[in-house]
C-alpha cells in the first residue's frame, strides 16, 4: 500500500514538473503558440451586410447578371482593330478548346459535348446582339451546355471576345 502511495506521489510530482516546464517554455516562446490564436468558428460572427445603395464602382458582376441581354451594350467599339486583336488572343485562350480553331465547334474538348459546341460563324450566333452573347458566355445558356464563364473571364475580356466573334466572316 505504502509503495502505491509513494509511486502515485512520484508520478504526480513528475507530471507537475513536466507541466511547469512546458508552461515556462510556452510563455517564453518567441512566436507564440497556435492555441493562442483566436479561433472563429463558421457563423460565429455575424456576416457583413452591404449598406443599401452601395454599388461597386468597378466590374459589378451582379449588374450584368440581373440585366436583360438586349439591354447590355459593349463598352468597346466592335470595329476597333485593337479590341478585335486582343479578343482573338482571348478566344484562343478560353474558347478554342471547345469551339475550335476555325470557330466551327470542332474543338478537341468540345467533341465530348452533346449537343456539340455551336458554330460561332453561324447565323444563329451572329444574329444575336453583343449583349445577348455576353449573357450566354457569362452565365451559360438555359438548358444548354455552354459553360458559364463569368468567374473565369474578366468582364472587359468577355466584351473583347465578343467583338472578335462579331468580326468573323459570316458562314452558313
Ligand atoms: C467546355 C466547352 C466550352 C467552352 C470552353 C466554351 N463553350 Fe461555347 N458552347 C459549348 C457548347 C457545348 C455549346 C452548345 C450549347 C448548347 O447548344 O446547348 C456552346 C454554345 C455557345 C454559343 C451559342 C449560345 C446559344 O445561343 O445557343 C456561344 C455564342 C458560345 N458557345 C460562345 C463561347 C465563347 C465565346 C467561349 C469562350 C469565351 C465559349 N463559348 C467557351 C461549349 C463550350
Query: Cβ distance 107 to 100 under 8 Å?
Result: yes
Query: Quick one: 162 and 87 in the same domain?
Result: yes
* The predicted structure's pLDDT at residue 58: 63
- Percent of the chain residues topping a pLDDT of 90: 65
Return the closest-CA partner of residue 163 out of 131, 116, 124.
131
Regarding whether 149 and 66 lie in a shared domain, the answer is yes
Predicted local confidence at residue 76, as pLDDT: 93
Does the residue 150 lie in any domain? yes
- Of residues 152 and 30, the one with the higher pLDDT is 152
- Rounded to the nearest 10 degrees, how much is the dihedral formed by the CA atoms of 67, 71, 72, 73? -160
- The answer for residues whose C-beta is within 8 angstroms of residue 119's C-beta and 6 or more apart is 103, 104, 105, 125, 171
One domain, residues 20 and 87: no
Let me know: does 104 contact 121? Beta carbons within 8 Å.
Answer: yes
133 lines ligand 1 (CB under 6 A): yes
Across 94-110, average pLDDT = 92
Q: Reply yes or no on whether the pLDDT at 100 is more than 70.
A: yes
89 in contact with ligand 1, CB cutoff 6 A: no
Give the count of domains, the chain. 2
Q: Which atom of ligand 1 is nearest to the CA of 113?
A: 12
Is residue 101 located within the same domain as residue 143? yes
pLDDT of residue 126: 95
Range of the domain at 73: 61-166
Which residues, including other chains, have CB under 8 Å from residue 44's CB and lie 6 or more apart? none
In a domain, 47, yes or no: no
Which residue, judged by its Cα, is nearest atom 17 of ligand 1? 144
Task: Output the CA angle 37-39-40, nearest 5 degrees.
Answer: 145
Amino acid at each position: 500500500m505504502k509503495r502505491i502511495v509513494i509511486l502515485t506521489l512520484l508520478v504526480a510530482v513528475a507530471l507537475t514538473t513536466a507541466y511547469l516546464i512546458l508552461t515556462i517554455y510556452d510563455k517564453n516562446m518567441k512566436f507564440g503558440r497556435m492555441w493562442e490564436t483566436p479561433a472563429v468558428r463558421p457563423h460565429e460572427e455575424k456576416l457583413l451586410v452591404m449598406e443599401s445603395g452601395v454599388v461597386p464602382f468597378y466590374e459589378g458582376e451582379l449588374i450584368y447578371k440581373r440585366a436583360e441581354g438586349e439591354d447590355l451594350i459593349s463598352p468597346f467599339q466592335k470595329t476597333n482593330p485593337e479590341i478585335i486583336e486582343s479578343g482573338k488572343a482571348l478566344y484562343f485562350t478560353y474558347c478554342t478548346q471547345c469551339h475550335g480553331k476555325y470557330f466551327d465547334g470542332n474543338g478537341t474538348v468540345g467533341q465530348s459535348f452533346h449537343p456539340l459546341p455551336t458554330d460561332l460563324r453561324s447565323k444563329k450566333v451572329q444574329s444575336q446582339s453583343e449583349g445577348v452573347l455576353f449573357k450566354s458566355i457569362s452565365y451559360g445558356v438555359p438548358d444548354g451546355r455552354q459553360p458559364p464563364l463569368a468567374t473565369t473571364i474578366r468582364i472587359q475580356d468577355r466584351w473583347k471576345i465578343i467583338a472578335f466573334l462579331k468580326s468573323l466572316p459570316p458562314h452558313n
